[in-house]
Amino acid sequence: MRYAPIDKNLFISNRARLVQRLKPGSIAVINSNDIMPTNADASHSFVQNTDLFYLTGIDQEETILVICPDAVEKSHKEVLFIKEAGEDTAIWEGDKYTKTQATAASGIETVYWTREFEKVFKETVFESKAIYLNTNEHVRADVTVETRDTRFLRWCKTTFPLHKYRRLAPIMHELRTVKSELEISLIQRACLITKQAFLRLLDFVRPGVFEFEIEAEIFHEFLKNRSIGPAYPSVIASGLNSCVLHYTKNNRQCLDGELLLIDFGAEYAHYASDVTRTLPVNGRFTDRQRDVYNAVLRIQKAAIKLLRPENTFEDYSKEVGEIVQAELIGLGLLDSGAVKNQPKEMPLYKKYFMHGISHHLGLDVHDYGARRGLFSSGMVVTCEPGIYIREEAIGIRLENDILITEQGPVDLTKEIPIEAEEIETLMRSVKSLS
């Protein structure tokens, strides 16, 4: 792996917390992701099922975790199945985990080859009353492509039709919402790699460069720092593209006088960072650009202060909406009289700030976690206000990653420059040295 070894106690602790939430007499099964094919005989790079990684630390295809706390055979209370690497596999694909290496990474003592799964599983499942199966229950998930977990669910219900079946996803969502200290350190490492990439861009961005050239600079810095790459497709949006929320074509030339919105984040050890900065392509904001930029920055600073355990998502979103509304009136984009008579279900500020203010962050960039109810200490969320004025080709978003604690919010991305004056100064200084 590119990343440094992770303390196996993280995964041991995660499994222990899962076991506490399983009903007596149950067995739980989680499968790795598939290697996804392209055309002909090619395939995409492997991306692990984040639930499986959270519980095992194993970063390999054809892996299965079985947890059966009440198993008669003590060695079967937790079992890991991994792909056996034959001679041909070693020649064509390289090394795979040995059983000893899998135990060292996961802390799981009992390891079998995946080809032995059915035999071992049947011995244990008949001792169990209920089977927990895993599915992707993220509210925004696209489940068009069938996963190994989905295929296993179908096989399991056909093979063992009289067992009770339970959903594992709600438990995994609960567990993964609050991050441990080790998880936070991995997210912090991803944020620091993102900082290095941003500093690199301050020297590179100038009129005439193409968005894809900027993307290449980001990718270079990520890989150089032990990341496998972006945690999500980077948004490199200049001019009017900055008003397109999920713009990823990244094929336009950046012109003098325009803004450049960069929404990007490094992955490290599967943990994501998620940062947005907005730059003047020529190194200096116009007066109008600066006014809008500082309005967004004020919104973000006020919003971050609200990220405390005693607050709720609902109250937080409502209060941020009121802050955005006031700033838009100050910028001359909303009329205060019209605001007083606006429909509550569709406030006028949504024309210029149409997305959510925060989402959970962790093993997935839009990580598991409820969007309602109280914040909890240990949650990591983004804070990403924006103002998008299509008629002026001004799109400004600023996004930081925030750890919620009892002592107050902790900005994991505070070292990434964000003040307008600091960005202008850095862009001038690095160019004067080059």
Show which residues are catalytic. 41, 246, 263, 274, 355, 359, 366, 384, 388, 397, 399
Neighbouring residues of 131: CB distance < 8 A, sequence distance ≥ 6: 26, 27, 28, 29, 125, 156, 160, 163, 164, 165, 166
CB 384 within 8 A of CB 273: no
State the sign of the Cα–Cα–Cα–Cα dihedral 59, 53, 7, 227. positive
Residue appearing with tokens 């978003």: 397
DSSP track, 335-355: -HHHHHT--TTS-GGGGT--S
**Cα three-residue angle 37-39-45, rounded to 5 degrees:** 35
- SS3 at position 31: strand
The residue among 326, 248, 278 whose CA lies nearest residue 424 is 278
Helices marked H in 211-312: 211-224, 287-305
CA distance 251 to 197: 19
CB 55 within 8 A of CB 30: yes
Which helix (DSSP H) or strand (DSSP E) does residue 382 occupy? strand 380-383
CB 78 within 8 A of CB 108: yes
Measure CA 13 to chain center. 21
Neighbouring residues of 74: CB distance < 8 A, sequence distance ≥ 6: none
